[in-house]
Structure 1
Amino acid sequence: MNAPVKIETTLKDWETDQEVRWCPGCGDYAILKAVQRTLPQLGANPANTCFISGIGCSSRFPYYMETYGFHTIHGRAPAFATGVKLANPDLDIWLVTGDGDGLSIGGNHLMHVLRRNVNMQIMLFNNEIYGLTKGQYSPTSREGTTSPSTPLGSVDRPANPAAFALGAGARFVGRGFDVSKNLPDVLKAAHAHQGAAFIEIFQNCIVYNKDVFNDFAAPKGAEDRQLWLEDGQPMLFGSEKTGGLKGIALDRDNLHLTVVEVEGDDWEAAGVLVHDVTNRSIAHMLVELPFGPFPMALGVLYDDPRPSYEAGVAAEREKATAGKQANLAKLLASGQTWTVSGTAQDPV
C-alpha cells in the first residue's frame, strides 16, 4: 500500500453534471457541499477516490461526486466497500449510508466492517425516519414518533448509532450535523484516521421529520445545547450570555458524568474533564448522555487507531507467497486431484 499523492483541486473538480435531486431544503445538500469543500483541503485526488452507498435518500451521494462510485443494494454497501478496498488498498473509500439502510437490513454488514477495521470513512446520515419510502419510522426514530407505519406512535426504543459503532469495535467515532460549520473538521479527522472511521451526521428531513434536531441544532442558544469535543481541551459549554459557563465532570463515587457550574473560567477547580480521544470508557459515557439534562456531544468522541484489516490481509498474503512462483497448472494438478483414462465404453 502506497501513501496517496496529494494534489490541488477545487470544489468544482468534485461536482458532477448530474442534477442534484433531493427535496428542497433537505440536509443532504449541506452534507454534500461540506464533503466537496473538504476534499480539496485534504489534497485528495478524484481519480483515487470512491464513494459507495446502499439504498435511501443519502445513497444518491455517489451520483453527485466526480469520483468513482457504486450505488449498491440495501444495507450491503459495507460488503461492497470491503471488496473494493481489498482489491485496491490504495483507493480512498467513502461509504455513505442512512439510519434505515445502515441499521436495519444493513446492521450486520455495518457491524462487521467496523469490527474488521477496514480503512474507510463511513458517513451515516441520521434523520430518524425512512425518507425515500415516504416517512415510515426507522431504527433511530424516537419513542412516540407517528408515521404511516406507527400511526399511534412508535413504541420501539431507538438505536444509538454512535453507541452501536463503539460496541461493534469501531476505533473512530465522530458526530456532527448537516449545517454545522464544524462538520468539515470531523470529516478531516476521520480521513486522517487509519482504519474504519464512523461519523454519525444528524440530517434534517424537511418533509417527513422536519426540525427534529432543532432541540440542539438550532442556532439560537446552541452554546448551551452543544458540547463540541476537542482532544486535550476541557469539556465546556454554555456562556455568560446564556446562564454561565458549564462543564462535564466525572462523579467518581457513582462513575457517571455530571454537569458542573464553572466560576469565572476556573474549569479545573470545578473538576471539568479534559477530553482524551483515546479514552474508550468516557466515549461510551458521552454517546449515552441523555439530551436535555446534558448537551449533545459532538465532534470527535473517540480516536484510537489500530492496524487495519486490509493491511493484515496484505501481510498474510505476502507471507504465504514469499519465495514461491505462481504456477496455475501445478496448483490444479496438486492435492486431491485424479486422472480419468479410457473411453466412455470402458467399464467403471
Structure 2
Amino acid sequence: MNEMTKLTAADFASDQEVRWCPGCGDYAILKAVQRTMPEIGADPAKTVFVSGIGCSSRFPYYMATYGFHTIHGRAPAVATGVKLANPELDVWLVTGDGDGLSIGGNHMLHLLRRNLDCQVLLFNNEIYGLTKGQYSPTSRVGTKSPSTPFGSVDRPTSPCAFALGSGGRFVARGIDTHKNLPEVLKRAHANKGASFVEIYQNCIVYNDAVFESFTEKKAAPANQIWVENGKPMLFDNGAKGLTLDRERLKLEVVEVVDGNWEAAGVIVHDETNKGVAQMLIDMPYPAFPIALGVIYCDPAPTFESAVVTQNLEAAKGKTADLNALLAKGQTWKVTPGGHPEL
C-alpha cells in the first residue's frame, strides 16, 4: 500500500452482500471494525481475519482483507499458524460465545497463554444463533431454549474471567452499538500480544434484549462503568464510584458528593492490576455496574517473537540442505521385490 494513500472505511468493505438477520448486533460491530481499520493505519494486503463457525464467523467475507473461515472452535489454531508463518501480518480473530468457549475453549486458552500477537473479538449474545437458539456456555441460569426447554441449570462462564484466568495480558469489554467500541478496538490493536475483547452483541431473533437493562440509553449511565487507565472509577454521571475495601479485598459502590470523588474513596483505575481487574470482571450485576473498556493490560513478550528468535539461533552457522535432511537418520529403499532394504 502506498504510504500516501488515505484509506476510508469503505476500502475495508468487501463486495459481498452482508447477510445477518435484520437488526443483528453484528452489523454494528462490522461497521465499527471497518471504521477502525483506516484509523490504525491498517493495510488490507497485510491484514487477516480468521473465524470459526457461527453467525459472527461470516465476518471475513465482509472485510476487504485476507481471511479464513475455518471450522468450529479452531480459529485460534489457524490464527496461530498464520502468525507463525508470517509474523508481519496483522491477525484478527472473530468468534462467538459458543464457537470460542465450548468446542473452541481449549484452543482459545492456548492462544491466550502463549500471548500470540493478535486481536480476539468474541461476540457474546449468550445463545447459539446459527443453529437456531440453543443455550450456550454464557447463557444465564433459567434460559429457555430448544436444548433447555425447562430452563438452563448451568452456571454461565464469564468470557473475560476465562481470558484472565488463561493468562491473557489484555482483557477488555465493549457493546455492539456503543460509540466507544472503536476506541476499545484501537487499544486492542495497539497492544503487542493477545488482545481479548468481549463484545455484548444482541441476537434479535433468539435472545433479544437480554442486555437491555444496562445497554438501553436511559439505563446505561447507572449500569455501565467505562474504566480508563489513570482515571477515577466513576459512573452514573459521576454521582457514584467504586472504592476498595482493603480489609475484605472487595469493591464497593459509594456515593460521590459535589464531584469530590477522592473524599468518597473512589479508586483510580490501574489497568496493570490483575487483582482489581478480576474484581471488576466478577462484579455482580445489578448490584454493581457492568465494567467496560480496557479492564486489564500488562504486556509481555509475544509467542511468535520467541519462536522466530529461537529459529534464528538454531540456524546460526548452518547451511540449508534438503537432501541431507531427507537422508539423515534411519533410511531405506524399496527393492524390486517390494521389500525394504535398510
Tell me the residue number matched to 1:114: 112
Distance 1:200 1:345 in 2: 58
Alpha carbons 1:140, 1:158 under 8 Å: kept: yes
Tell me the residue number matched to 1:337: 330
Relative to structure 1, the CA distance from residue 343 to residue 49 in structure 2 (aligned partners, 3 Å threshold; closer, same or farther) is closer
- For structure 1, the residue ranges without an aligned partner over 5 or more in a row are none
Tell me the residue number matched to 2:48: 50
Displacement after TM superposition at 1:248 (Å): 0.4
| Matching residue within 143, 147, 167 for 2:145 | 147
| Matching residue within 111, 115, 136 for 1:138 | 136
Distance 1:200 1:341 in 2: 56
Tell me the residue number matched to 1:128: 126
- For structure 2, the residue ranges without an aligned partner over 5 or more in a row are none
TM-score for the superposition, normalised by structure 2: 0.96
Superposed CA offset, 1:58-105 (max 9, x none)? 000000000000000000000000000000100000000000000110
| Matching residue within 206, 221, 224 for 1:223 | 221
Alpha carbons 1:7, 1:45 under 8 Å: kept: no
The farther-off stretch of 162-171 and 259-268 is 259-268
Report the secondary structure of 1:32's partner residue: helix
1:250 aligns with 2:244: yes
Superposed CA offset, 1:174-220 (max 9, x none)? 00010000000100000000000000000000000001001111111
Identical positions, percent:
64
The within-5 A match list for 1:48-197 is 48-197=46-195
| Matching residue within 195, 204, 207 for 1:206 | 204
Relative to structure 1, the CA distance from residue 337 to residue 128 in structure 2 (aligned partners, 3 Å threshold; closer, same or farther) is same
Tell me the residue number matched to 2:291: 297
The within-5 A match list for 1:14-33 is 14-33=12-31
Alpha carbons 1:234, 1:273 under 8 Å: kept: yes
Q: Residue type matched to 2:251 in 1?
A: L
Distance 1:158 1:233 in 2: 31
Distance 1:309 1:198 in 2: 15
Alpha carbons 2:213, 2:219 under 8 Å: kept: no
Superposed CA offset, 1:270-328 (max 9, x none)? 11110011111110110000111100000000011101000000000000001211112
Displacement after TM superposition at 1:221 (Å): 2.9
Q: Residue type matched to 2:119 in 1?
A: Q
Alpha carbons 1:95, 1:122 under 8 Å: kept: yes
Superposed CA offset, 1:143-173 (max 9, x none)? 0001111111100000100000000000000
Distance 2:208 2:336 in 1: 75
Alpha carbons 1:85, 1:93 under 8 Å: kept: yes
Distance 2:13 2:131 in 1: 27
Q: Residue type matched to 1:199 in 2?
A: V
Distance 1:221 1:6 in 2: 44
Q: Residue type matched to 1:284 in 2?
A: Q
Displacement after TM superposition at 1:133 (Å): 0.5
Distance 1:345 1:156 in 2: 59
Superposed CA offset, 1:18-71 (max 9, x none)? 110000000000000000001011111111100000000000000000000000
Superposed CA offset, 1:244-268 (max 9, x none)? 7111010111111000111111111
TM-score for the superposition, normalised by structure 1: 0.94
Relative to structure 1, the CA distance from residue 299 to residue 341 in structure 2 (aligned partners, 3 Å threshold; closer, same or farther) is closer
Relative to structure 1, the CA distance from residue 345 to residue 309 in structure 2 (aligned partners, 3 Å threshold; closer, same or farther) is closer
Relative to structure 1, the CA distance from residue 343 to residue 140 in structure 2 (aligned partners, 3 Å threshold; closer, same or farther) is closer
Q: Residue type matched to 1:314 in 2?
A: V
Distance 1:113 1:308 in 2: 11
Distance 1:316 1:126 in 2: 37
| Matching residue within 264, 274, 296 for 2:268 | 274
CA RMSD of aligned residues (A): 1.9
Tell me the residue number matched to 2:320: 326
Displacement after TM superposition at 1:333 (Å): 2.9
Alpha carbons 1:7, 1:43 under 8 Å: kept: no
Displacement after TM superposition at 1:344 (Å): 4.7
Report the secondary structure of 2:236's partner residue: strand
Q: Residue type matched to 1:94 in 2?
A: W
Report the secondary structure of 2:330's partner residue: coil
Distance 1:280 1:295 in 2: 19
- Number of residue pairs matched by the alignment: 340
Superposed CA offset, 1:92-123 (max 9, x none)? 00000000000110000011100111100000
Report the secondary structure of 1:30's partner residue: helix
Distance 1:55 1:162 in 2: 21
